Structures are given as structure tokens and as C-alpha cells.
Amino acid sequence: AQYTFSLAFDTQRLHEMRMDILNEKGLGGLYESIVETSGKELFASLRAITEYLENDPEGDVIVHCVQGKDRTGLVIMLCQSVLGLDDTTIVADYHKSEVLLNGNSKTDGSAAAHIATASKTETKGKLNKGFFSGSPEEVMVGTLSWIRERHGSVLGYLDHIGFDATWRKRFLAVMNGGGYNMNETTGSGSMNSRL
């Protein structure tokens, strides 16, 4: 009821409530929200990568956003999943942003450490940027788990957003043409710098 009232009469309060909810859910909640509400945009990104490399087989792709870890991390995770990389590799690759963003390798890296530090500066109704500054491993582990709970698998999620088997086959064809090496026995692979 308070949400409905705020929606109709107080847009500032509604914004503050949204920020409080986002702060409460943290980085994992943000990723769940992006995955849940931005399927069209994620599909468009995967399609653009595929079509670009089909048109320029010698080209490389740079994927970026403001911080280079949230939307970028999700797009790269989806690409790596299509390529058959295992979760350990995907999570470790995502976590590399932690060191790069912080400029050192002494970062604890745990979500608990980020929340403990960030909570010291929490302000009701305002986004607590400290909650969202890192790329802790457990956030990507949780995101992969959440996708599987909702869609059965990452490939099931990709089907859901339209990046179906036909698109994945095209993606794999351009990646294989660009030096992606897939181990048929383990299902894992390694990339030469295509992404």
C-alpha cells in the first residue's frame, strides 16, 4: 500500500524506496534484476557480437560498460557459457575485475568484506555505491545458480531471451574461426583474444 501511495503522490519517496531495496539486495540482486529485465538488451549484445564477427572474421570485440564488470561481466559470462567454459573459469575471470578496479591484489574479495565496509556509509534512500563496487566471486556463483534455478541452465536462459540454438551455433562458428579451442572431452575451452 505504501508503494502504491508513493507511486501516485511522491516520486522522490518512490526513488528512495527503490534505492533501499537495491541496497538490501546488493550486487547479486542487481545482477538478478539485469538478467530478469534486460533480456532484450543481453540478446542484442550477443547478436551484435555474433554478427560483427561474421562480417569481420579477423576482427576482435571489446565489451564494456561504465565499470566494465556488471553488464560487461554478464555478457561475457553468457559468451563463456555458450563456449562451454566451466563455472570455475567463468567466476575466476569475472573476479579479475576486482583486482583491476582496485589497482592491487590485496583485496579480500568477499561480498561480506564489501558489505562490512560499505555499510559504514549507508544512507537511507540513497544508493550505497560501496555495495556495488567489487566483483566478488560469490556474486557470479550466485548469479549462475539463480539463472539455473529459474531457467534450468544458462542455455535455457539464452533460449528464453532468444539467443537460441541457431544463434549459439552461429556464435560458436565465428569463435571457432577465431581461434577458440574447445576440449570435446571436458566441454571446457580456452580463447585466443576474440572477446
What pLDDT is attached to residue 54? 95
CA of 121: how far to CAs of 73, 117, 124, 126, in Å?
Answer: 26, 8, 10, 11
Diameter over CA atoms, the chain: 60
**Mean pLDDT highest for which of 46-50, 101-105, 178-182?**
46-50
Q: 12-35: per-residue pLDDT in tens?
A: 777 777 777 776 777 788 889 889
Three-class SS of 49-118: HHHHHHHCCCCCCCCCCCCCCCHHHHHHHHHHHHCCCCHHHHHHHHHHHHHHHHCCCCCCCCHHHHHHHH
Report pTM: 0.73
102-156 pLDDT, tens digit each:
654 444 444 444 444 444 455 777 766 666 677 789 989 999 999 999 999 999 9
